[in-house]
């Protein structure tokens, strides 16, 4: 049975590229979640009046990849201790967030975050927003599969390539 979850961790191009590489991930779509405006454009979300975060919708097979593994990749691929910011990207659309679909997912996420605190993985508290799924609106076509369509773009080389190198080093067992 395929499950879904929404992750927001800054620029969706980075997040999409990372999760596309994992075994058990059936699909990844870039889009917007957590806000109040239906079918917003990239520019509307960047204008900060929609309440949405740049997000990805993952569909995954829990028989192949556990939610805990997805959470490990999620929390290691961005800074979940900064509010409304990832690197040079600043604003509520770049917040760290997880929008869950089931009560079971909520428990797993909350326990994972508690373990991060207990293990002192970060020097500051995790500020990742954890809320039930309310909406997801796919971004425009030019934002889908961005990294794979733009490998030589400077943004990809500077921002995404190092994240992929870290993923390959730390989570090789999860790669396709």
- Convert 3-24 to b/e letters by CB count within 10 Å (16 or more is b): bbbbbbbbbbbbbbbbbbbbeb
- Beta-bridge mates of residue 129: 97
Distances (CA, A) of 79 to 20, 60, 135, 163: 20, 23, 24, 12
If 0-12 CB within 10 Å is exposed, 13-18 middle and 19+ buried, where does residue 85 land?
A: middle
Q: Is 14 a catalytic residue?
A: no
Q: Which of 11, 18, 73, 109 is catalytic?
A: 11
Catalytic positions are: 11
């Amino acid at each position: 049975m395929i499950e879904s979850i929404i992750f927001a961790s800054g620029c969706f191009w980075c997040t999409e590229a990372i999760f596309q590489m994992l075994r058990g991930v059936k699909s990844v779509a870039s889009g917007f979640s957590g806000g109040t405006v239906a079918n917003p454009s990239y520019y509307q979300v960047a204008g900060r009046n929609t309440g949405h975060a740049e997000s990805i919708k993952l569909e995954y097979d829990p028989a192949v990849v556990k939610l805990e593994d997805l959470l490990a990749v999620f929390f290691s691929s961005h800074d979940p201790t900064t509010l409304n910011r990832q690197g040079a990207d600043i604003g509520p659309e770049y917040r760290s967030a997880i929008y869950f679909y089931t009560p079971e997912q909520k428990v797993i996420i909350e326990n994972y975050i508690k373990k991060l605190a207990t293990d002192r993985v970060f020097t500051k508290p995790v500020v990742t927003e954890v809320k039930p799924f309310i909406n997801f609106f796919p971004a425009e076509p030019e934002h889908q599969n961005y990294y794979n369509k733009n490998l030589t773009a400077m943004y990809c080389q500077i921002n995404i390539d190092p994240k992929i190198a870290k993923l390959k080093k730390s989570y090789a067992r999860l790669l396709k």
